[in-house]
A and B are shown apart, each in its own frame.
Chain A
Amino acid sequence: MITLSWYLIFSAALFCIGLFGVLARKNAIAIFIGIELMLNAVNVNLVAFWRYIAPEAITGQAFAVLVFAVAAAEVAVGLALVISIYRRRNTVNADEIDMLKF
């Protein structure tokens, strides 16, 4: 049988790939892609812990549903911000969006 460790290492790898994307990409939308991968890694972890540690309590899946809702909210607001910034500054490069720097 597959033990819990396989899922944990899989989700750790997915999380680290997403983290690399967030840190290394210039394009703001590419940073969102990295964040989505990180959120998915968290969801895999939640569901794996539910299935292996506490299958009689439904907590893990309920939390994963809440993570879905929060991820959808985050992406909607984030992409609206990116489009708004693109309209005013004509760029989505995170290095060039530095109006708050003083």
Chain B
Amino acid sequence: MTGMHFVFLIVAVITLGAALMAVTSRNMVHAALWLILALFGVAITFAILNAGFLAVAQVIIYIGAISILMIFAIMMTRRLIADAGGQISSNWPWAALIAVVLFGGLWWLLSGWGGFNTTLPSISARADPLVELGQALVSPSAYIIPFEVASVLLLAALIGAIIIAWERK
């Protein structure tokens, strides 16, 4: 056990605990705040994995934009937070069973895979992952078309969101 193990384990336990609270908390605002903690844990995981850009993007996009959008939506639809007679549907044992079986199945499937215990390869010193990512996203020989399609998708989705939520008089 090295220091890295402890850091990873603490982050993983906090993230999974916060995720569990986010899906079971009765108060929706609390659930959204637990979601923010879980997303922050995932951002730290990205940082541990040398993906600095993604860690920062996670904080800005997920925590800064998506979670705040969710809190706005929760506050605009607040009526039945408390008086709906519980937030968990009555068939939750089946949901828990499916989740646990899927987790066990994934673990079993992955443990049979040859690369399961791959150790950390060193990143070559000449290449900076951040520079490579930036170049790959705008290089015609790499990901410019998916990147542009994603941009158009996002623009279309935002215009669509405005039209859907428009209050017609």
Chain A residues close to B by CB (< 8 Å): 1-10, 12-21, 23-27, 29-30, 32-34, 36-37, 40, 43-44, 47-48, 50-53, 55-56, 58, 61-62, 64-66, 68-77, 79-84, 86-87, 90-93, 95
Chain B positions within 8 Å of A, measured between CB atoms, are 2, 4-5, 8, 12, 15-16, 19-20, 22-23, 28, 31-32, 35, 38-39, 42, 45-46, 49-51, 53-54, 57-58, 61-62, 65-66, 69-70, 72-74, 76-77, 79-81, 84, 86-89, 91-92, 94-96, 98-100, 102-103, 106-107, 110-111, 115-121, 123-124, 127, 129, 132-133, 136-137, 142-143, 146-147, 150-151, 153-154, 156-158, 160-162, 164-165, 167
Q: List 8 A-B contacts (CB under 8 A).
A: A10-B16, A12-B106, A20-B95, A24-B95, A29-B77, A37-B19, A43-B54, A47-B54
A-B pair count, CB < 8 Å, reads 254
- Contact A1:B120 (CB < 8 A) given known A61-B54, A69-B153, A93-B84: yes
In whole angstroms, how far apart are the Cα atoms of A30 and B46 in the complex?
A: 25
Closest chain-A Cβ to B23's Cβ sits at a distance in Å of 3
Closest 6 CB pairs of A and B: A21-B23, A73-B157, A23-B95, A80-B161, A24-B95, A24-B92
Question: How far is the CB of A10 from the nearest CB of chain B, in Å?
Answer: 5
B106 CB contacts on chain A under 8 angstroms: 12, 15-16
Tell me the nearest residue of chain B to A61, going by C-beta: B133
A-side contacts of B121, CB under 8 Å: 52, 55
